[in-house]
Structure 1
């Protein structure tokens, strides 16, 4: 099926999404691949299948389309010198589009393993490919490409699937039963009723009815936890900045490394729209892009990242440790680096659970952005996360009010962020103000807040309340296993034991380390988390020296 002009998506060459390779770069790639003649109609890679080759067009034209053979939509048309693929080629995910030859010619095909090596070893070419792939992933997300999720915004399972896709930056389209007129017709076509939702449609013909997060992840090619009798060198639990840094440094040092995360790479930092004070990125970088780059970097050294995989127990064994996931020992390792981070605290107001996911949110990602389009929003908190969320939401919401418990934000927020908020129209900071009550029926309609200085109560109309009021450590799975302080953070480098004094980031178990926000006394900054992740690997080597593990 050939797309009509109206079906073609006009996608500009944003930030180098579709660069052309020069003769020198093509010659270098030719050493690793093979040339092939192609004819109109040839499929070079298909939606839903794993991307196995990096393809450069030497002659002819290739269209990148979504819904090939059905309701086709052309995303882009590539000519001589351009290359195909997107981020999934580097991460092992399935493809979200189909590449079909439109005009006869010749292509150069390089195996995926080879291109990953090239990206790692050739800074100029590798950066060109990586930047292009990151931008293409952003374009696909913005175009609502990928699989479709049909469900009700009031359904916890529908929200779970959407949040998982958004946090992992997986292209998808959310079809809301309450708002999308086409939803009912599509369900009838699939012979489903609204009571059967949520459903996921993949590749146009594969339908998953209320899949688990693990089932959805497996379908799109994310690695699933697999039990093994082999004991690896290091398992990192948590894939925020600290965990990803530990994965990169451990794997680059030649240690067999597995990284687990319950939801998505990036942790809390992954939900940040823009990190502007991280060293080396003067124009800033989104938390999601930083995480994607780190995942690729860890993968090129051989680290295995598994998402979703929520650790439920740390089990000391003879000479090693086991990490329990879904009731089974998913990974065994000689050393463990705990980087499970912290989760935002909840408001102490009645009926909070009733509105969570249908008006109350703890992250500001594209998923939440869709839920408050052109509506007034309220952000609770006065730290960096609250400030970044306010700026991110401001471009989409009709207005943004920040409710801050104290009388100033300069003591809790970076200066550059506070100054930018002051300069931004549409954001109002209400100091000495706390939420007392949430109002609404099925969804949030307003919040009742109080000025703690004057005692005045005010009602603020809003359908979206974003809460960033400090964090609680994610250590429930560790209680009774490692020492925790009175707030639940992991204590490191203290006390004595039969095997001596713990190293600076080591817990009460020999060879078990804690890094980042989950650690008692840590500095809550991305840079310090990355530094602790790297430092923990150095301490792992030191511990292995004393135990004779290596």
Structure 2
């Protein structure tokens, strides 16, 4: 991205071409001074180091700072150079993650240091300053991802565990680089350097020295500093299962209402929304917002109100016990909850095409993020699907690929896609819409090279050149663990409200003197929101609205005596405080 340039002893800072390196105004620096301390720093001093947690927010008053990746290692490179008025850090500072680069003082000067805890409070309390810092940090995170900074995943493209680690890193928006054991020239050198046998891969390489051999997702999460389950979360007022827009909204409103709120997700915060390159019809963002940015903002907001987010943490059981619910996880740990909000979303449906499984994760994907787009390298790609996700992905990929073939099984793009997206897709010069078209075959040795597609109206087949295929053909609910626990519809979605009332065991509700509330399931105090709920509207805004509504219903449920969970004021529960749900 940049190299350090010296001119008569001066260090030229990196231009802010990406909006990731804004400069604080004198007034903002003055305001920050009241919350921190001024510190003189000598040339060559390390301000923070890759792989270690951030301890301070640092603003530069004089001198210059160089941001380095792989500092002191064989691949050391400059990421950016900052001068007076700029500030250091990236998203990990606000989210409690380890640093993905190193900051070194290149010219003696002075910095303003504010503790991380105080800086997080300032971001919450000062909207203008907070928005400036958050936007910069989001931009820097995506730049780091594009640069391949962070940890390295060394493994074969044919290994399911390699695919698992790459997906976990990409879904959690963690800077990393994949070194393909089969094709990358540096793979052999890394194997020798770290004395790794090929059969021990995949491995994760961190800070140029640490090796994790085929780590679990949880082990990788702990390495980076993602929040881990802890004994202090052994009981909560509300357990939210799933951290997509619906789950995060429930987290924000639950925590802001004074309820002890724990939110868990098996893979990553954000759900499907986090993989959307651009959401243009979300209220309040007239120019659109990327799914990743929307989710990062929601995560920070949930943290602000005191919600605990734990990733990865996969739920396997839900059991009424005494007057509460016991939520069980794959590692055998348990959390007792007064109420439960199910927001577990859906799984992507796989494309059923012969021999496609060997290409999944290599050149067949079920999301279109910066990570996948960077692999296109100006080649043509295919996108399968006729809904909004497929339309958004096509527009995003058109900025990276030489051509995008949008393959739609039906005969009308308007059937499942929003009008504004249809207009943009049809106008884009690099997108070709092929209606009545289905994929029948794939070819390529180490990666996808071409597709065999069929016109399902005429039966005619032809071959399309494509280096990658992105699939958006719907999803199925993540409810296998709920079968026999509460009522599901014929497709596995959770029944709520009137539908739950019709399927509920009346004896379970007699003591309450009521039936299921609007978003309540056949279990009192267990609510379902977002895509997992039967009959839900598959939109980010409606998912967030349902998440907020669910907390209102949690309050109503807690006010009823004699229910399955403790009412407010009972031992082990504290009454809700704060403003009501809007």
**Unaligned ranges ≥5, structure 1:** none
Q: Which residue of 2 aligns with 1:117?
A: 121
- Please show how residues 123-142 of structure 1 align to structure 2 within 5 Å: 123-142=127-146
Counterpart of 1:49 (choices 47, 52, 55) is 52
Other structure's SS at 1:505 match: coil
Match of 1:105 in 2: 109
Distance 1:85 1:323 in 2: 37
Q: Please name the residue that 2:244 is paired with.
A: 240
Q: Does 1:528 align with 2:570?
A: no
- 1:78-114 CA-partner distances (Å, limit 9, x unpaired): 2222211111111000001111222222222111111
Structure 1 stretch displaced more, 402-411 or 18-27 = 18-27
In 2, Cα distance between equivalents of 1:167 and 1:47: 21
Aligned counterpart, 1:491: 495
Which structure 2 segments of 5+ residues have no match? Answer: 562-566, 569-574, 576-582
Partners of 1:61 and 1:457 lie apart in 2 by 61
Using the TM superposition, give the Cα deviation of residue 134 of structure 1 relative to its aligned residue in structure 2, in angstroms.
1.1
Q: Which residue of 2 aligns with 1:261?
A: 265
What is the total number of aligned residue pairs between the two structures? Answer: 547
Structure 2 counterpart of 1:545: 559
1:477 maps to 2:514: no
- Provide closer, same or farther for how the CA distance between residues 438 and 293 of structure 1 changes in structure 2, counting only shifts above 3 A: same
SS at match of 2:52: coil
CA distance in 1, matches of 2:110, 2:446: 57
**Mapped partners of 2:287, 2:385: distance in 1:** 25
Any conservation in 2 of the 1:335–1:540 contact (CA below 8 Å)? yes
Matched, 1:420 2:420: no
Deviation at 1:176, TM superposition (A): 2.0
| 2:97 pairs with 1:89 | no
Relative to structure 1, is the Cα distance of residues 249 and 108 closer, same or farther in structure 2, using a 3 angstrom cutoff? same
1:187 paired residue number:
191
CA contact (8 A) 2:158 2:358 kept: no
Structure 1 CA distance, aligned partners of 2:169 and 2:558?
Answer: 38
> Of the candidates 39, 56, 78, which is equivalent to residue 36 of structure 1?
39
Compute the displacement of 1:513 (Å). 0.5
Shift of 1:371: 4.1
Distance 1:144 1:358, change over 3 A: closer
Cα distance, 1:22 vs structure 2: 2.3
Match of 2:156 in 1: 152
1:144-193 CA-to-partner distances (Å, cap 9, x unmatched) read: 11111122222221121111111111111222233322221222122223
- Aligned to 1:328, the other structure's residue is in SS state coil
Cα distance in 2 between the residues matched to 1:478 and 1:91: 31
Equivalence for 1:205: 209
**How many angstroms apart in 1 are the aligned matches of 2:360 and 2:552?**
41
Identify the residue that residue 396 of structure 2 maps to in structure 1.
392
CA distance in 2, matches of 1:4, 1:175: 27
What is aligned with 2:564?
none
- The answer as to 2:528 corresponding to 1:514 is yes
Closer, same or farther: CA 43–228 of 1 in aligned 2, 3 Å: same
2:289 maps to 285
TM-aligned CA deviation for residue 352 of structure 1: 4.4
Check the 8 A contact 1:225/1:330 in 2, yes or no.
no
Cα offsets for 1:224-271 (capped at 9, x unmatched): 223457421111111111111111111111111111111111101111
**Separation (CA, whole Å) in 2 of partners of 1:160 and 1:201:** 16
* Cα distance change, pair 382–43 in 1 and its aligned pair in 2 (3 A): same
- After TM superposition, list the pairs within 5 Å mapping 1:307-318 onto structure 2: 307-318=311-322
8 Å CA contact retained: 1:10, 1:75: no
Distance in 2, matches of 1:395 and 1:25, equals 36
Distance 1:265 1:313 in 2: 20
Deviation of 1:434 (Å): 2.1
CA distance in 1, matches of 2:233, 2:180: 44
- For 1:491 and 1:128, how far apart are their aligned partners in 2? 42
Secondary structure (helix, strand or coil) at the match of 2:560 reads: helix
CA contact (8 A) 1:517 1:523 kept: yes
> In structure 2, how many angstroms separate the alpha carbons of the residues matched to 1:539 and 1:415?
34
| Deviation of the 1:330 alpha carbon | 3.9
Q: Report the CA distance shift for 1:347/1:147 in structure 2 as closer, same or farther (over 3 A).
A: closer
CA distance in 2, matches of 1:450, 1:252: 53
2:579 equivalent in structure 1: none
Question: Do 2:382 and 2:404's aligned partners in 1 also have CA atoms closer than 8 Å?
Answer: yes
- Give the whole-Å Cα distance in 2 for the aligned partners of 1:246 and 1:47: 34
User: What TM-score, normalized to structure 2?
Assistant: 0.90
Residue 377 of structure 1 contacts residue 463 of structure 1 at CA under 8 Å; is this kept in 2?
A: yes
